[in-house]
Chains A and B, each alone.
Chain A
Amino acid sequence: MQALYALYSDPDSAQQAVDALRSSNGSASVDNDLRDHIAVISSEPFDGYDFFHRDHKTIMPWIAAAGGLVGGVCGFLFAAYTQAVYPIPTSGMPIVPLYADGVITYELTMLGAVLATLFTLLLTARLPNWKRKLYDPEISDGKILVGVIDPPDSARAVIADALRGAGAGQVKEFSL
């Protein structure tokens, strides 16, 4: 993997860079669609900015709800099955008491939702992933990385110009 990127001190410049890269699609030397190759990395979320808006849709709440449902069903079956197999008569209560088992069901419903959310986060955010990928330690100091992954050779100059035009002091290269 290769990448051309630049670091920006503020989100407005990063937005300019992304806009410039997008608009460079129309130029003669860029025959591939760059838009899918633009990468943005930052040390904080920039919720109000368009460059940050991509990939925001998620079905995570639905998965959490499904996880809760599965957890709840498992919780109830777990308690009820155990009580049926090892019946312990207790002060006139039914062998499978719904009120008492409701507590176990409730807690495991919540546990199911919690775990489903965790697994969905890890899966969809592609974590953990310790392979070397496009990154620059200066991001931790507040810089915002804007770049193009696997840029076509014919477009390198246009990309570098677009990145510089948004105020980048230096255009860097990254390769694996």
Chain B
Amino acid sequence: MSEKTIAQINDDLLRPVLRTSARFWIAVLVLGAVVAAAAGAVSYQMWNGIGVWGINRPVFWAFDITNFVFWIGISHAGTLISAILRLANAPWRRPVTRCAEVITVFALMIGGMFPIIHLGRPWLFFWMVPYPSERGIWPQFRSPLAWDFFAINTYLTGSLIFLFYPIIPDFALVRDKVTGWRKKLYTVLSLGWRGTPRQWHRLESAMHIMAIVIIPVAVSVHTIVSWDFAMAPVPMWHSTIFGPYFVAGAIFSGIAGLIIAMAFLRKVLRLEEYLQPAHFDSLGKLLLMMCLVWVYFVFAERLTVWYGNESAEMAVFWTTQRGPFAPLFWTMVICNFVIPFPLLAIKRFRTTITGVVIASWTVVIGMWLERFLIIVPSLSHKYLPYTYGSYRPTWVEITILVGANAAMGLLYILFSKFVPIISIWELKVGAHKPVVVHKQVSVVRTLPAVADDGLRTTDT
């Protein structure tokens, strides 16, 4: 890849933007049909009321909230990973960062939709928005649901801006390569970018600041999502461990989602030369680490509950260990640890893209089950046994779940049609020779080599 010229890099990475393949249309049609089916299911629910869902007393939170937590978790893939890799100046990040940042934006959009769908009467969602009204209805700022509103919107705004910054120079590049209406469009989108040193310095400063700011925002968002549960006196919810537990799970599922998205793009857009096995190997190592962190949190949570032996909590505990939810619980353990751990720990498997992608798929499935198992067993076993209930999803909820996944794929593929999915200018920076300069002296010294890990040694 390093032997490619700038013109070849431009050609390869602009190809998906400039040319539309049959694969693209097939993918759009298939994914679009599934999304349309999900939109039909939402419309059906709006027309007939929330009775078409499987929720009933005492389980009032189920698929929609599971999907909400799951997608907010997936959103951690992008901005957080990208920001950490940027701050660490990891050289292998360059083809990965934009793929990751895009996931955040779309996952937040999809995740943020679920509480609105869950309202049952989504047209009243604006009641969550703080604005002066003659009804005197104001948001309850003590409620974690109101915190969600602020946290998710801050994260979405920050992630959109964080995604947009490095796209500006690439919009300028596309502007120079297209004609007609597309030239006008990209001229507007590139904001008149030319690439003067002043513009580059400001852009890099802004990206650096954003990378610092967005990390605590990302952590706070999933912590606040966890507080939706932890602030409630519900068995196995009211726990101080929930914040970090949710954040760890979010990063775990986020990395898995990123790996799947990269493998998808690699195939559909023919980016094999840019998204190489080494990138999957590096992300696989991160996934392995998070796999172990996840096991630690699950064990810590379960051990504390079991040791405390409080009757209401033990009812939930046993229903997941050996009761009606046990098949889902043990499937989750298999998906989140038993399968991915050996695939990621053994180098022979991790260095193959197939191995890492299989591990990622199981993690995504396992993490969705984890979110479901946090919510439904606790609600179905609240304190007094006479209130115990259960939950079974209907076709409406299942269709919406499948449609949300298809929406992610559809948005992703549409995005890659309008924006180079790999940051071209950042890739070029990685390709050209590194140099050092002594201030106030116009002598440029070229370094002999850059180590594989990107660290430079200078001899002044």
Interface residues of chain A, those whose CB is within 8 Å of chain B, are 11-12, 15, 18-19, 22, 39-46, 48-56, 58, 60-61, 64, 68, 75, 78-79, 82-83, 86, 88, 90, 93, 97, 100-101, 103-104, 106-108, 110-111, 113-115, 117-118, 120-122, 124-131, 133-135, 137, 139-142
**How many whole Å from B6's CB to the nearest CB in chain A?**
3
When distances are taken between beta carbons in the complex, the residues of chain B under 8 Å from A50 are: 437, 441-444
User: Of residues 147 to 165 in B, which have CB atoms within 8 Å of A's CB atoms?
Assistant: 147, 150-151, 153-154, 157-158, 161, 165
A44-B432, A142-B428 given; A114·B150 CB < 8 A: no
Contacts of B252-309 to chain A: CB distance below 8 A? none
Q: What distance in Å separates the Cβ of B137 from its nearest Cβ neighbour in chain A? A: 9
A-B residue pairs in contact (CB < 8 Å), sample of 30: A15-B444, A42-B200, A44-B425, A44-B432, A46-B432, A49-B437, A50-B442, A50-B444, A54-B198, A60-B205, A61-B209, A64-B213, A78-B130, A83-B141, A90-B140, A104-B141, A106-B220, A110-B217, A110-B220, A111-B154, A111-B158, A114-B157, A114-B213, A118-B206, A124-B198, A125-B199, A129-B191, A130-B191, A133-B192, A139-B194
CB-CB nearest 7 A-B residue pairs: A142-B6, A48-B435, A128-B191, A55-B198, A140-B176, A129-B192, A125-B202
User: CA–CA, A141 to B172, complex, Å?
Assistant: 12
Instruction: Collect the chain A residues with CB atoms within 8 Å of residue B220's CB.
Output: 106-107, 110
Q: Is A43 a contact partner of B142 (Cβ separation < 8 A)?
A: no
- Given contacts A48-B435, A110-B213, A43 and B224 within 8 Å (CB-CB): no
Shortest C-beta distance, B174 to chain A (Å), equals 9
The answer to whether A111 and B191 touch (CB under 8 A), given A106-B220, A117-B213, is no
Nearest A residue to B130, CB-CB: A82
Which of these, A15, A53, A75, A97, contacts B197 with CB under 8 Å? Answer: A53
Known contacts A39-B196, A58-B201, A111-B154; decide if A79 and B141 are in contact (CB<8 Å). Answer: yes
Contact A52 B209 (CB under 8 A): no
A114 to B268, CA, bound (A): 34
**Bound CA span A4–B224, Å:** 57
Q: B203 to chain A: which residues have CB within 8 Å?
A: 121, 125
B439 nearest CB across to chain A (Å): 7
User: Are A131 and B213 in touch, CB under 8 angstroms?
Assistant: no
Q: Give min CB distance, B184 to chain A, whole Å.
A: 10
Q: How far is the CA of A33 from the CA of B89 in the complex (A)?
A: 39
Total A-B pairs, Cβ < 8 A: 195
**Size class of the contact patch on chain B:** 35 or more
Our pick among A44, A106, A121 for the contact of B206 (Cβ within 8 Å) is A121
Contact of B202 among A60, A104, A141, A142 (CB under 8 A): A60
The answer to whether the Cβ of B85 comes within 8 Å of any Cβ in the partner chain is: no
**Majority secondary structure, A binding face:** helix
Pairwise interchain contact B161-A118, C-beta atoms closer than 8 A: yes
The answer to whether B187 and A130 have CB atoms under 8 Å apart is yes
B324 within 8 A of A: no
From B434, which residue of chain A is reached at the shortest CB distance? A48
Question: CA of A45 to CA of B434 in the docked complex: distance in angstroms?
Answer: 11
Binding site for A on B (CB under 8 A): 5-7, 10, 130, 136, 138-142, 146-147, 150-151, 153-154, 157-158, 161, 165, 168-169, 172-173, 176-177, 187-188, 191-206, 209-210, 213-214, 216-217, 220, 224, 425, 428-429, 432, 434-437, 439, 441-444, 446
With A and B bound together, what is the CA distance between A171 and B147 in angstroms?
59
Q: Identify the closest chain B residue to A122 (Cβ).
A: B191
> Inside 8 A of A41's CB, which chain B residues have their CB?
194-196
Contacts of A12 in B (CB 8 A): 444, 446
Q: Given the complex of chains A and B, what is the CA–CA distance between A86 and B172 in angstroms?
A: 49
> Smallest distance from the beta carbon of A164 to chain B beta carbons, Å?
19
- From known contacts A127-B191, A133-B194, infer whether A53 and B439 are also in contact, taking CB-CB under 8 Å: yes
- Chain A: minimal CB distance from B98 (Å): 15
Q: A82-B139, A126-B199, A141-B6 are in contact. List 9 more A-B contacts (CB 8 A).
A: A50-B441, A52-B197, A82-B138, A97-B142, A114-B154, A120-B206, A121-B202, A128-B192, A133-B192
CA separation between A140 and B158, bound complex, in Å?
28
The answer to whether residues A104 and B199 also contact, given A44-B432, A48-B435, A50-B441 and a CB cut-off of 8 A, is no
**Bound state CA distance, A108 and B353, in angstroms?**
41
Task: Give the complex CA separation of A61 and B208 in angstroms.
Answer: 9
In contact, A117 and B206 (Cβ under 8 angstroms)? yes
Asked if residues A107 and B142 are in contact (CB atoms below 8 Å), the reply is no
A45 close to B213 (CB less than 8 A): no
B176's contact among A54, A121, A137, by CB below 8 Å, is which? A137
Neighbouring A residues of B425 by C-beta, 8 Å = 43-45
B428 CB, min distance to chain A CBs, angstroms: 5
| Nearest chain A residue, comparing its CB with the CB of B196 | A41
Cβ–Cβ contact B150 & A130, under 8 A? no
Min C-beta distance of B277 to chain A, whole Å? 26
Given contacts A45-B200, A142-B6, contact A90 B194 (CB under 8 A): no
